[in-house]
Amino acid sequence: MLRTYSLILLAVALAAGQGHDYTQADVDAGSRLYSNNCSGCHGVDGNTMQGANLSRGTFRRATNDEELSRIIINGLPGTPMPPSAFKPEQTMQIVAFLRAFPAIRARQTSSGDAARGKAIFEGKGSCLDCHRVSGRGGRLGPDLSDIGELRRPADIEQSLIDPGAVIVPQNRVVTVTMRDGKTVRGRLLNQDTQSIQIVGPGEKPVSIVRAEIRSVTDEKSSMPSAKDKLDARELADVVSYLATLKGLQ
């Protein structure tokens, strides 16, 4: 209950910060409209359309609510965003929800200390050996510079504890066995009917023609579980740190 109440305050405060006085009822109604009309393309978390992340409360093509409303009504020609026929009140409710999106996501923020988490991430955790953040670290694993935008804290925590449990398609690691028996292992970048692209030796993107391939098999994540390495508090700290990573703003 308390959590819900803080969410209301946060959402309304944030919306008010944009110069509009949205109510929680607006946000709730907007949430339903979003779920029924928008989430099919934009995803439940607002982050599934390339170049159109709706989860951060700020928008590439709209600096204010009027512009945002205009895009919702008129769509964006030349993009998959279609026009709609929402009434002004409904458009306002969707805008209210979009403005509150970051606050809604923030409700699940871990109670850890982000500064301590950063130190663990870069030190004891050795995470930079494989992961990269803002231009530092390895490229074998996914770049985490904007992981706080892309994933909810609960998902980040799950990936730290059980890295192989849920691997999103973008993070698949495959072993490619060539016709001559040689193997190449790496993160899958892309594929088509003729070829596949993976992060190859030396962290370089390489393209391999399917005609030269005998098989492609999925691998379990090579990431070690944090549960043997970090205690509960350290884990919460790392989650909190990762949740702050929002990419280049």
Partner 1 sequence: MRKALLSLLLAPALLAQVRPEDLVRARQTPDNWLTYSGSYDSQRYSALNQITPGNAKNLQMRWAFQVKSLEKFEATPLVVDGRMYLTQAPNDVLALDAATGRVFWHYSYEASPKARLCCGIVNRGLAILGDTLFMGAIDGRLIAIDAYNGKPVWSTNVNGADPATGYSITMAPLVVKDKVIIGTGGGEYGIRGFIAAFDAKTGVEAWRFYTIPGPGEPGHDTWAGDSWKHGGASVWVTGSYDPDLNLTYWGIGNPGPDYNADGRAGDNLYSDSVVALDADTGKLKWHFQFTPHDVFDYDSVQIPVLADIAWQGRTRKAMLWANRNGFFYVLDRTNGEFLLGKPFEKVTWATSLDSKGRPILAPGAAPTTEGTRIYPGVQGATNWYSPSFSPRTGLFYIPTWVGYYSTFTKYDLTYEPGQRFTGGTPRSVVPGVRGVGYVNTRKEEDGSGAIRAIDPQTGERKWEFKFTDVTDSGILTTASDVLFTGSRDGSFYALDAKTGTELWRAAVGGQVVAGPMTYRVGGKQYIAIAAGSTMFAFALPD
- The residue from 77, 181, 201, 202 that contacts partner 1 (CB under 8 A) is 77
Q: Give yes or no for residue 74 binding partner 1 (CB under 8 A).
A: yes
- Of 49, 219, 45, 35, nearest in space to 149 by CA: 45
Residue found under tokens 């339903």: 32
Q: Which is nearer to partner 1, 17 or 82 (CB)?
A: 82
Distance CA 73, CA 60 (A): 17
Does position 119 bind partner 1 by CB under 8 A? Answer: no
Instruction: Give 210's contacts (C-beta < 8 A, 6+ positions apart).
Output: 193, 194, 195, 196
When the beta carbons of 18 and 43 are compared against partner 1, the nearer one is 43
List, as one string, the DSSP characters of 33-68.
Answer: HHHHHTHHHH-TTS--STT---TTS-BTTBSSHHHH
Q: Which is nearer to partner 1, 194 or 249 (CB)?
A: 194
Q: Is 84 in the site for partner 1 (CB under 8 A)?
A: yes
Q: Are strands 183-191 and 173-178 parallel, antiparallel or unpaired?
A: antiparallel
The pair of three-digit structure tokens given for residue 222, joined into one six-digit string: 């090579």
Instruction: Rule CB under 8 A: say whether 49 interacts with partner 1.
Output: yes
Q: What phi and psi, each to the nearest 5 degrees, are found at residue 222?
A: -90, 5
Q: Is residue 158 a contact residue for partner 1 (CB under 8 A)?
A: no
Q: Which is nearer to partner 1, 3 or 87 (CB)?
A: 87
CA atoms within 13 A on the CB side of 220: 8
Q: Does 85 bind partner 1 (CB under 8 A)?
A: yes
| By CB under 8 A, residue 189 contacts partner 1 | yes
Taking alpha carbons only, the member of 129, 60, 107, 125 closest to residue 243 is 107
Q: Is 206 in the site for partner 1 (CB under 8 A)?
A: no
Piece of 100-108, 186-194, 219-227, 232-240 that binds partner 1 (CB under 8 A): 186-194
Per rule CB under 8 A, count of chain residues that contact partner 1: 31
Nearest to 93 by CA among 175, 169, 29: 29
Query: Which one of 21, 67, 212, 218 is in contact with partner 1 (CB under 8 A)?
Result: 218
Using the rule CB under 8 A, which residue among 10, 23, 69, 86 binds partner 1?
A: 86
Could you tell me the two tokens for 171?
């993070």
Q: Which of 81, 75, 31 is nearest to 51 (CA)?
A: 81
Should residue 192 be labelled a site residue for partner 1 when binding is judged by CB under 8 A?
yes
Among 4, 21, 40, 164, indicate the residue that binds partner 1 (CB under 8 A). 40
Binding positions for partner 1, 165-184, rule CB under 8 A: 169-170, 172
- By CB under 8 A, tell whether 225 contacts partner 1: no
Per rule CB under 8 A, is residue 249 in the interface with partner 1? no
Contact residues for partner 1 (CB under 8 A)?
A: 35-37, 39-41, 48-50, 74, 77-80, 82-87, 169-170, 172, 188-194, 218
